[in-house]
Amino acid sequence: MTISIWRYSHLALAVSSFIFILLASFTGIILAFDPVAQKTLPYRVNNFNQITLAEAIPAIKKAYPEVTDITVDANQFVILNGTNEQLENVTVYIDPRTGKSLGIPAEQSSFFQWVTAFHRSLFLKETGRFIIGLTSFLLLLIAVSGTILVIQRQRGVKRFFSKIVRENFAQYYHVVLGRVSLIFIIIIAFSGTYLSLARFEVIKTQQISHNIDFDSISTDNKRVPAEFPVFTKTLFADVKSIEFPFSEDPEDYYTLKLKDRELVVNQLNGDILSEIPYTQTAMLTELSLDLHTGRTNWIWALILALATVNILFFIYSGFAITLKRIANKVKNKYKAGDCRFIILVGSENGNTFFFARTIYKQLLDAGEKCYIAELNSYDTFPKAEHLIVLTATYGLGDAPVNAAKFLSRLEKIHQPKPVKFSVVGFGSHSYPDFCKFAFEVNNKLAAQEWALPLLEIHTVNDRSPDEFMQWASQWSQQAGVQLNISPAVFQVKPKRPQTLTVTGRSELSHAEGAFLITLKPSGRVKYTSGDLLAIYPANDHRERLYSIGKIGDAIQLSVKLYPGGLGSGYLNSLKPGDKIRARIDANKHFHFPNNGAPVLMISNGTGIAPFLGMIDQNKLKSSCYLYCGFRGEQSFRLYKDLLDASLRSLKLKQLQVAYSREGDKKYVKDILARDESFVASLLDDGGTIMICGSLAMQQNVIELLEDICGKVNNRDVSYFQARGQILMDCY
């Protein structure tokens, strides 16, 4: 529930202020380049931070018969107003050590003046200044709510910078860039707000007025400025400006505006006649100006520019995320009370709605009355016979926003007649609590008297169309409703297939064994080992997926030939030179971790395919260990030469093979159990375990890992899963 409050606040604030944030950001980015351009001018002298007033003032007085004032700007350029030897009034940049003129200050370019005025007030005078101040404040609130959302998403402050699971481009980079730029955006927004408050005198600005007792001004102990104690102690770098005395009259004096205080100094002997330190609010105003404009440091100015560019990206990506959510809202054709089929959806980012809508449309096409809604809208459905719940899981195995109220509503609201229900959990194995909320929903439903389970709970990993199809087909059979169950229907945004040419294939390892086939895509296509190749053996909707091993610049598949198998039979019929249409799907969660840490690859059967490619691609020679299982030596022979060559070239450090039907009959799990201390220390050293092969093998290996991790590492497997140290691609 809390996530929704912060999310809605974040969104509401962003929507209400984005136009002004957009304008302020554009102009802010331009203005950040002003300090950078200024810093390239040659008016700052070397070792400026070491020059004292005692050293500089006599030299300046010698060079200029009359000095009105000296200002030190944010770039540490010293500007003098006075009269030169030709008795001309001058305003010049000077070298404070010698008084030498370095150049004439130019006015700020009219372009920057225009942008500055727009940035401050939108050319709307006080109203504009108020709007900009308010925009800064709203930006501050957006950044704070954004920080809280990242903390919630990452499950705690400590994990703020840990890995982010990539859902889609807009969402991933909204969080990734948010994490690095939030602190800078908070500084920009806070300083902007503070400056506005000071401008409107909500924060009182300090009015300095010196109270000087002229009668007590001493004319004794006359000294030259080079000997004034205050001048010897004060560095030019701490000065903002110096007003020089008008005349030699003792009642005229030096006024020193320093960074932290203002001083009035007797011009005859250097006595301090008055000293007023700046209040904290005045100092904060100065600091805010420095931080907001980057005027004192060009690196900071560039950081501000980058952070502001990120604000523009957040506006784009934030809207992209929101539009996606809105696009998933469905208009119902029938009223809830009239429908036999009810579909309830728990979704945070809208993907689950895609699947739900597909079923909804198909039920309508089949002539059924169907109603679709969010899980939170659970109510009494008088005519319902079937309830389908499709729900994602978020946070620490929690409900998505639009499902947070479901469980409590379920306790209170009962259906008047028996309803058959089926729950599909959408989740990701990248998270420790896989589909946890869906399981909770399933259990709670099962406990209701009126609810009859039509199917066991079904889970879908990473929105797999295949896994969803399995459920759809079972449900359609059990419910007695005809659904169009094809991958084409459930494939999210299918990519265009490409043409690949068969460049080679091996013999079958043995009858009904496996074979290797290599294919080359025409044109430049980016892919890597672990990605998937989808083929269409019958040139229709039926799709078969194979794990890719990238060997050289070709795709290598390892295919087990099944009698009557659609995909394997088709691939087996191909000869070199044949062309096929297929699609390469990026499978990012199963890519080789190029972090230099050791990698333990575990496979059975043709699950070895992506590992053959990863080992071949292991140019940096990370320590790779391959534990693979086969029925017998004949099956393994297909890969032996390749693996022997990899061992020789050190791309593979160690190979362990288990034969389940020969010799001492072992499964891959058994040889891992034998080497449990190696497995445990690999995980402790930050290494990665990759598993590819059958689901049964995956289950056995995960059980073993649970045991090893609990016993030796004192951790749960989920701990390593959450850190991306256990990757799986099983089928």
Ligand X SMILES: Cc1cc2nc3c(=O)[nH]c(=O)nc-3n(C[C@H](O)[C@H](O)[C@H](O)COP(=O)(O)O)c2cc1C
Binding residues vs ligand X (CB under 6 A): 153, 165, 167, 347-352, 392-395, 397, 400, 426-428, 431, 433-436, 463
Compare residues 146 and 400 and give the one whose CB is closer to ligand X. 400
Is beta strand 370-374 parallel, antiparallel or unpaired with respect to 341-346? parallel
Compare residues 153 and 292 and give the one whose CB is closer to ligand X. 153
Question: Please, what is the minimum distance in Å from the beta carbon of residue 375 to ligand X?
Answer: 11
Compare residues 151 and 366 and give the one whose CB is closer to ligand X. 151
Question: Please, what is the minimum distance in Å from the beta carbon of residue 15 to ligand X?
Answer: 21
Question: Please, what is the minimum distance in Å from the beta carbon of residue 163 to ligand X?
Answer: 11
Q: Which of 290, 312, 315, 309 is nearest to 29 (CA)?
A: 309
From start to end of 95-167, where are the E strands?
A: 101-103
Question: Please, what is the minimum distance in Å from the beta carbon of residue 400 to ligand X?
Answer: 5
Compare residues 163 and 417 and give the one whose CB is closer to ligand X. 163
Name the helix (H) or strand (E) containing 67.
Answer: strand 66-72
Compare residues 20 and 394 and give the one whose CB is closer to ligand X. 394
**What is the residue whose two structure tokens read 């005349």?**
247
User: Are 137 and 125 spatial neighbours (Cβ–Cβ below 8 Å)?
Assistant: no
Compare residues 324 and 560 and give the one whose CB is closer to ligand X. 324
335-372 burial: b if 16+ Cβ within 10 Å, else e? ebeebbbbbbbbbbbbbbbbbbebbbbbbbeeebbbbb
Q: Which of 206, 441, 234, 465 is nearest to 344 (CA)?
A: 441
Compare residues 25 and 171 and give the one whose CB is closer to ligand X. 171
Q: Which of 289, 281, 285, 27 is nearest to 132 (CA)?
A: 27
Compare residues 136 and 587 and give the one whose CB is closer to ligand X. 587
Angstrom CA distances, 719 to 149, 245, 357, 723, stand at: 22, 72, 35, 7
Q: Give the pair of three-digit tokens for residue 513.
A: 């064994």
Q: Cα–Cα–Cα angle for 68, 69, 75, nearest 5°?
A: 150
Q: Which residues contact 156 (CB under 8 A, 6 or more apart)?
A: none
Q: Cα–Cα–Cα angle for 444, 450, 456, nearest 5°?
A: 55
Amino acid present at 618? N
User: Can you tell me the distance from the alpha carbon of 605 to that of 609, in angstroms, rounded to the nearest whole number?
Assistant: 9
Q: Which of 526, 123, 618 is nearest to 626 (CA)?
A: 618
Question: Please, what is the minimum distance in Å from the beta carbon of residue 350 to ligand X?
Answer: 5
Query: Which conformational region is residue 134 in: left (phi greater than 0), alpha (psi within -120 to 50 degrees), or beta?
Result: alpha
Question: Please, what is the minimum distance in Å from the beta carbon of residue 462 to ligand X?
Answer: 7
User: Are 653 and 684 spatial neighbours (Cβ–Cβ below 8 Å)?
Assistant: no
Question: Please, what is the minimum distance in Å from the beta carbon of residue 444 to ligand X?
Answer: 18
Compare residues 97 and 429 and give the one whose CB is closer to ligand X. 429
Question: Please, what is the minimum distance in Å from the beta carbon of residue 390 to ligand X?
Answer: 8
Question: Please, what is the minimum distance in Å from the beta carbon of residue 486 to ligand X?
Answer: 21
User: Can you tell me the distance from the alpha carbon of 121 to that of 200, in angstroms, rounded to the nearest whole number?
Assistant: 13
Residue nearest to ligand X (CB): 427
Question: Please, what is the minimum distance in Å from the beta carbon of residue 156 to ligand X?
Answer: 12
Compare residues 258 and 407 and give the one whose CB is closer to ligand X. 407
